[in-house]
Structure 1
C-alpha cells in the first residue's frame, strides 16, 4: 500500500542529486537531515511525528535511509519513495526513555552500519528538532566521526521551485483566499476572536472545490484592537468592538506547500491615520514588487520599499520578506534569503517569497502582504485578494 505522492520519483532523485553535489562541495561523506521540511523534500515523508526524534541519512552512493520511531515506520513506507529496507526504526523504549536510551543511539548504529562511523557527517545544528542532547549522544556514539554543521544545505536547494512545486503553491493560494474571505466575513462587533479563528481554520482545512487543505505550519495570527502593533499574537475569546483594527495573517497549504497572505480589517470606518498608513503600505509593497526581476539582489527589493516609506518619514528596521514554500510547524519560511539590507542573494526565476511589509505603531499596525514568484521579467503574485484596508 502506498499513498499517492505529489511528485514523481524522478523529481526526488533530482533533488537528491543536487543535494549530493552540495555535499561533495562541502566535503561531506553523509548528511543527517532532521528538518521535517527537508525530510519531506528528499523522500516525501509525511506524518505528525516530528515531536519525537527522526531523520533521513543521505549518503553519496546509496538510497537515503529514514530513521524514526517504530510506530511511524509504516508512514515512511507508504509516503516515501524509499525501499522498505531503507526504513529503519527504533523501539519505543527510546522515547522519553527512563532507561538512558536515546534515538540518537540507534541513529549512530545505522550510521556505523553504512561504514560511516569514522566519516564526515553533516548535521542540521540549528534545525528546530535537532536537540543539543541529540548532538551530544551522536558524538559520544560516533567518537571517530567528524560531525559538521550543514544546517541550511538542503534549504538553499529548495529556494528555486519546479513547475510542480509552483502548481502546489498556486493551489494553496486558492485555499488562502478562501480562508481570508471567511475571516473577513466573520469579523464584526460582538463576535469573539475565537469564532473568527474557527471560521478561518474551517475554510483552510475544508479548502475549495478542487482541493482540500492541509494544516498550515503557523496558526492563523490575528491580533486585534490595541494589540495590532504586536504582529505575532493569535486570538483570544474577547469580542471585537466597533472601531477595532484586526490583522489576519494565514496561509493556504497543499501537500505542505504554503501560500501566506496578510490583510488588515477594521470593524467599522477606520480612523484617518490608519487609512493613510494602509495606503503607504500598499504603495511600498507595489514598489517592491515592481523592483523584482532575475539578477537583482534581495536587498534591492527592500530598498524600493524603504525609499517609499522614507518619503513619509517612516523607518522600519525589520525585514520585509523571506523565502517560503514547503514547511512544517513552527514555520513556513525557508530560513534562507530575506528581503532586507545586507542580503545579497541574487534572485532567480522561480524563487518564491512572502513579501510582508507591515508598519506597526504602539496604537495599531497594518499588514498587507503577497506571496510571489520571480518570473523571467518580474514578479507574479499567487493570490488574488483586494490589496487594501478592508
Structure 2
C-alpha cells in the first residue's frame, strides 16, 4: 500500500485535522450543489449583450490630480507617453495602429501645471478617422502630422509637410452626424507637422516645457526628442509613474472595472455550468471566450486545471476537480475570476482542500483594508490554513488589476528587482490569487474574486458565486 508521503498528500492533509475545517467541509457539498442555481440566476440577470460605453466619449479615465501629484513628487515638468495603455489612460483612446502591430502611433503629453492642456500628438488622418468618433473632449490641444515633402529650406529646419487628408464629401446635404462630428473635431487641430518628432517639438514649445524635465515611457521618445534638439532632461520614470497613478481608480475606471468584471464572471459561470457536456478543456475555454464575446468582453486567457495553453487539451471525466482562472476585458479593463468545478464528486481530500481555501479567502476578504501591505495578505491565508491543520501550498498572492491583469509598477522581468510592497489604498481594485499548487492531490483548486477597496474595507466588485460549481 502506498503511504501518505508517496501519494503526494501529507498525513495532516489527508486527515484534515481541526473541527472548524471538518464542519466547513461537511457544508461544502450542499453549498456547491446550489452553485448551478445561483450561477444561472447571476448569468440570466445580466443582459447577454454588449454594454453601452458612450460615456467614455465624455468622462475621463485619468485621475489628473493624482497623476500630477506623482509627477511633482518626481520633479517632472511633463509626462510624455506612447505605450498604448498609458495613452488610453490619459486620453480615453487606444491608438488603433498599435493594435495592428505598429509602434508609437499615439503620443500624449501631460504637464505638471494644471493650467496647461492635455496634448495629443497623432497622424492627422488617424486622428480624424479613429480618434474623433470616440471623443467629445474640447479641452485638449491636438498636434497632427503627415509626412515630409521635399527638403527643408534651411538645413536642420522642418521640411514642408503634406496636406492633411480627410474623406472627400460627395454630398454635404447627406452627411451623417458622425461625418459632421469628425469634421468639427478635426477643425480644432493644429496644422500638420512633417512627422511626429516635429509635432512633439511644437507641442513642447507651446506648453513651455522644451527646456524642462520630462518623464517618458518608451526609449523611442528620447531618440525623437534628441533628434529635434530637446534642451531639457529626460527620465524613463514615465511608465512607473502612470502605473502608480492607476493603482487607485477614478470613478470612470471603477465603472469600467464593474462592467468588465460582471461580464467576465457571468461568462465564466455560464461556461462552467456546461463543463460536463462540453467534455474537455479546449471546449470549455472556447465556450468561455464565446460567452465573454456575447457580453461585450474580449477573452484574454483561461487557465484550466493548471494550464493556460490552447495547445493542450484534456478530457473531463466523472470525479474530476477542475480549477478555472478566467480573464477577459471590456474596453481594455480586465475582469479576473477563479473557481473550482466538481464534475461529480471528487476525492474527499480535494473537497476538504477546497473548503480550506474557501475559509482562508473569506478570512482574507474580511481583513482587507486601506493601509495594509501586500506582504501581509499571504500571511493571513497561511495562518488560516495552519489553524485548520491543513498542509496546502497556496500562494494567496495579491495583484492590482486594471488595464492589465497585473497593473502595477515594476512589472518588467528584464530588470530583476524585488517587487514593491504595495499598500492598499481607497479605490484600488485587486485580486488575491488562491490556487493550490500541489500535484497529486487528486484535482486542481482555485478561488479568486475581484475586490474594490472602499470606505475602509473591501467589497467584491461583482456578484460572488459559491466557491465550487458542481456539474
CA contact under 8 A between 2:256 and 2:330: conserved in structure 1?
Answer: yes
Match of residue 371 from structure 1: 450
Q: Quote the Cα distance in structure 1 between the aligned partners of 2:145 and 2:285.
A: 38
Q: What residue in structure 1 maps to residue 81 of structure 2?
A: 33
The residue aligned with 1:120 is 213
Any conservation in 1 of the 2:108–2:120 contact (CA below 8 Å)? yes
In the other structure, the counterpart of 1:5 is 55
* Cα drift, residue 7 of structure 1: 6.5
Q: Does 1:78 align with 2:133?
A: yes
Q: 2:110 aligns with which of 55, 58, 69?
A: 58
Offset of 1:286 from its aligned partner?
A: 1.1
Task: Give the 3 Å change call, closer, same or farther, for CA 72–237 of structure 1 in structure 2.
Answer: farther
Aligned residues: 350
Q: Does residue 203 of structure 1 match 2:320?
A: no
Give the drift of 1:142: 4.6
Aligned to 1:220: 301
**CA separation of 1:350 and 1:155: change in aligned 2, threshold 3 A:** same
| Among 228, 234, 240, the residue aligned to 1:147 | 234
Among 65, 71, 88, the residue aligned to 2:144? 88
Is it true that 1:193 corresponds to 2:281 in the alignment? yes
Instruction: For CA contacts below 8 A with separation 6 or more, give which structure has more relative contact order.
Output: 2
Structure 1 residue matching 2:298: 3-state secondary structure: coil
Q: Structure 1 residues 248 and 71, CA, compared in 2 at 3 Å: closer, same or farther?
A: farther
Residue pair 1:309, 1:315 contacting (<8 A) in 2 also: no
TM-score (normalizing by structure 1): 0.76
Q: 2:461 aligns with which of 359, 378, 382?
A: 382
1:1-390 equivalences in 2 (<5 Å): 4-6=54-56, 8-9=58-59, 11=60, 15-50=63-98, 51-52=101-102, 53=104, 54-59=106-111, 60=113, 61-68=115-122, 72-73=126-127, 74-80=129-135, 81=137, 86-89=142-145, 106-113=195-202, 114-115=204-205, 116-124=209-217, 130=218, 136=223, 138-142=225-229, 144-150=231-237, 151-188=239-276, 191-207=279-295, 213-216=296-299, 219-224=300-305, 228=306, 230=307, 232-234=308-310, 236-251=312-327, 253-310=329-386, 311-316=389-394, 320-325=397-402, 327=403, 331-336=404-409, 344-363=421-440, 364-383=443-462, 384-388=464-468, 390=470
The offset of 1:189, in angstroms, is 6.5
Larger Rg over CA atoms: 2
**Distance in 1 of aligned mates of 2:55 and 2:261:** 20
Q: Which runs of 5+ in 1 are unaligned?
A: 94-104, 125-129, 208-212
Please give the alpha-carbon distance, in whole angstroms, between the structure 2 residues aligned to 1:241 and 1:72: 51
User: C-alpha deviations, 1:112-142, integer Å up to 9, x for none?
Assistant: 2122554322012xxxxx4x56655555555
